[in-house]
Amino acid sequence: MPVLSFSQNTLQTQFEHISNDIKGHLGISALLIETGESIQFNGNKKFPMQSVYKFPIAMAMLNQIDAGKFSLEDTIHIDKSQYIPKNGHSPIRDKFPKGADLTIKDIIRYNIEESDGTACDVLLRLLGGTDKAQQHIHEWGVTAIAIATTEMVQVANDTIQYQNWATPEAMNKLLQLFFEGRCLSRNSRELLLQYMSISEPWFDRRIKGLLPPGTKVAHKTGTAGTIDGLTRATNDVGIITLPDGRHLAITVFIADSYDSQKDREMAIARVSRAAFDYWQKTK
């Protein structure tokens, strides 16, 4: 285990304090991309990804587009029988109740910007299923990520989400590979960064919640429903552009929490701000 410096220990201690303040399990990986310096908390433990898994699925799809297997402009028919159930989030289903014909580019946008479960399942089908999607991620050297079930299956049973898991360290490694352009072409990387930089306002209370106004963040959230006071996953992963131009990859997972949504999201915001402040002071 690497020996932490005094300042690193200070950030580690802040992470521990935040963990002590929540009624659930907290996992963190914070990585300065330009130097590789990384600080973790429960970084090697498994956490359910929920909709965060739409990020690696989008990467796998764009990789196949780069390989010439598909085009962004290919039109895909989505039959209404392929829509996820009403208790799952799907703007495509709600906007096109009789079915839809959308380009792959639009489907990727729905998958990331609007976290559309139907869009996610269409991408998985095009990739050849969950095993094939996972295979792409593992071939990039990121093996502590499991893509095992579709949204259709996951929506129907709250406990199935644990089968789609990642460690914070692995997710941050994937964020680093993505940002450094080691898995995707420049155009695909820029497109996905664009989609991850646009999110609904209610998702801005996590990584972005306590950051200075105007800070650039490209991220993907994931959230489970709350049943009998228990929320199995409240997540946010992304890349923060620091004021000096460096880039911070950050993954924050909260599993099995009995806290309110406000408190869970504030915990993520506190983690993000602590990491932001630490690397601002260590130039």
Task: Please give the Cα distance from 181 to 175 (Å, whole number).
Answer: 10
What are the catalytic residues?
Answer: 51, 151
CA-to-CA distance for 260 and 264, rounded, in angstroms? Answer: 6
The C-alpha angle 134, 248, 115, rounded to 5 degrees, equals: 45
How far apart, in whole angstroms, are the C-alpha atoms of residue 161 and residue 225?
11
* Spatial separation of the C-alpha atoms in residues 93 and 4, rounded to whole Å: 49
Residue 141: count of CB within 10 angstroms of its CB: 12
149, 30 contact by CB (below 8 A): no
- Are residues 193 and 205 in contact, defined by beta-carbon separation less than 8 angstroms? no
Which CA distances in Å does 127 have to 63, 121, 131, 134, 201?
10, 10, 9, 10, 31
Report how far residue 174's alpha carbon sits from residue 119's, in angstroms, rounded to the nearest whole number.
21
Largest CA distance in the chain: 60
